[in-house]
Amino acid sequence: MGGFVLAIDQGTTSSRAIVFDSRMKVVGSGQKEFTQIYPKSGWVEHDPEEIWETVLWAANEAIKTSGVEPEEINAIGITNQRETVVVWDRETGKPISNAIVWQDRRTAAYCGKLKKQGLEGVFTRKTGLLLDPYFSGTKLSWLLSKVKGARHRATKGELCFGTIDTFLIWRLTGGKMFATDATNASRTLMFNIATNDWDDELLEILHVPRAMLPEVKDCAADFGSTEPGLFGAPIPILGVAGDQQAATIGQACFKPGMMKSTYGTGCFALLNTGADMVRSKNRLLTTIAYRLDGKTTYALEGSIFIAGAAVQWLRDGLKVIRFASDTGDLAASADASQQVYLVPAFTGLGAPHWDPDARGAMFGMTRNTGPAEFARAALEAVCYQTRDLLDAMHKDWKSNGNETVLRVDGGMVANDWTMQRLADLLDAPVDRPIILETTALGAAWLAGSKAGVWPDLNDFALSWARDERFEPQMDEKTRASKLRGWRKAVRRTLSAS
């Protein structure tokens, strides 16, 4: 066996697969987009069958382009869009509805009702999360109440719940394995991150039967083997982690105080807090970073719902750009005398505000405002939101001080203008790694290390290499002025204002 590992990266807008060799180099890949379904304002759905088909296509394409025989692949690692809910028939494997996506806001009123009952503290104490439509639990509860007979069938054990990883594991193993990993479980509002088990009190509040929940395993564990006919040979699935935790692993943020931020559709920053389950006083999330050999490592997380999606809005909604890659040069040409702010609360605001009813707004426009200023505002919005997260993390994680180096990944980090502006507004260095496929790499490392063909944790951390460091260049007066303007814009956008 040659140390080859297949990583399946099932994301919000596309399914990707990458074959890595024994030196952790990409030797084959495949990617396929799938349909975004918007039944109502604020609702977002995916067709689980289409996700399954695109995963199969991407994985087979990756194997084909790698030139590697299926028998040479030692293991599969899976990483996935978190919090997205799928429910399927245990007997047939068929979903009973579309998947409800993490971006979906249909349960905002339900979350508000639970808060009014004084229950948010119970959820936060046990799960580290806040009561927000973002998380899986209220989505699942909604689905069970709206699909005829679903809750009764679930109680009888006839239905299975899973996030995307669980659904894929079930399908890949022909229904032989019904499992998830600790990172995905920790995002459901139903998993007690202290006891590492589903919590009966929370299940009762949400009216979710335990009978429909998967087994929870370590991130590097035996998740069964694929059906031989899918890829030409059975391949063991040995690693699973939610996309942001997989990126944390891929960035080798294994020491307490290390921080990464991923810039994709949304932006998600994680700060490793080690064995300490730090309780945020600044509305960040306490979550599981990874669980290896039964040992749980925790993190503080800040979630931004709109990052790259703001660039997509410029391209597809406003049609002021043709390609996402145009934004850097366009932003650089913007009128420096105009300070235009975009607060991209298209689906509410995430951390540290957690306002599902906030909506997007543009501030500071003049008659001379045009595409260049719009592009700069969209890119700067990502940087401002990251600064909000960093400030909150510094308040919660005292021992880390204010000396932070941010490791970044995701599609937006190829944009030099954005990364320089990020360093300027954070007033902290930003490190871009040589390997940008950190999410897939993290899932692959979990599987490859479990298979015994890739380095252990310490040697993997030593292999991390920096492509470029962006140092702050903006003067303090300019930075302070821009941050004041941003905070004023956010205050005007919050629903309670």
Return binding residues for glycerol.
82-83, 134, 243-244
Residue 243, C-beta contacts closer than 8 angstroms, at least 6 positions apart: 9, 11, 79, 80, 81, 82, 262, 264, 439
Residue 302, C-beta contacts closer than 8 angstroms, at least 6 positions apart: 268, 269, 284, 285, 350, 351, 352, 388, 389, 392, 393
Tell me which H or E stretch contains 426: helix 416-426
Binding-site residues from annotation for ADP = 12, 16, 265, 308, 411, 415
**Taking a C-beta distance cutoff of 8 angstroms, is the pair 413, 44 a contact?**
no
Give the number of other CB atoms < 10 A from CB of residue 311: 26
Inter-axis angle of helices 476-493 and 371-396, nearest 10: 90
Residue 258 token pair: 């290390």
Binding-site residues from annotation = 12-14, 16, 82-83, 134, 243-244, 265, 308, 312, 411, 415
DSSP string, 68-86: --GGGEEEEEEEE-SS-BE
Alpha helices in 44-175 (DSSP H): 48-66, 108-116, 120-127, 136-146, 150-155, 164-172
Amino acid at residue number 100: I
- Nearest partner of 34 among 20, 48, 18, judged by Cα: 48
Distance (Å) of CA 119 to CA 4, 131, 217: 47, 9, 28
- Nearest 5°: the CA angle 75, 101, 278 is 75
**Taking a C-beta distance cutoff of 8 angstroms, is the pair 368, 347 a contact?**
no
Strand partners, 215: 179
Position of tokens 């303090």? 476
**Taking a C-beta distance cutoff of 8 angstroms, is the pair 100, 85 a contact?**
yes
What's the rounded Cα separation, in Å, for the pair 213 and 201?
15
Binding-site residues from annotation for sn-glycerol 3-phosphate = 12, 82-83, 134, 243
Position of tokens 């204010």? 402
Phi, psi of 224 (to 5 degrees): 85, 180
Most distant CA pair in the chain: distance in Å? 65
Binding-site residues from annotation for ATP = 12-14, 265, 308, 312, 411
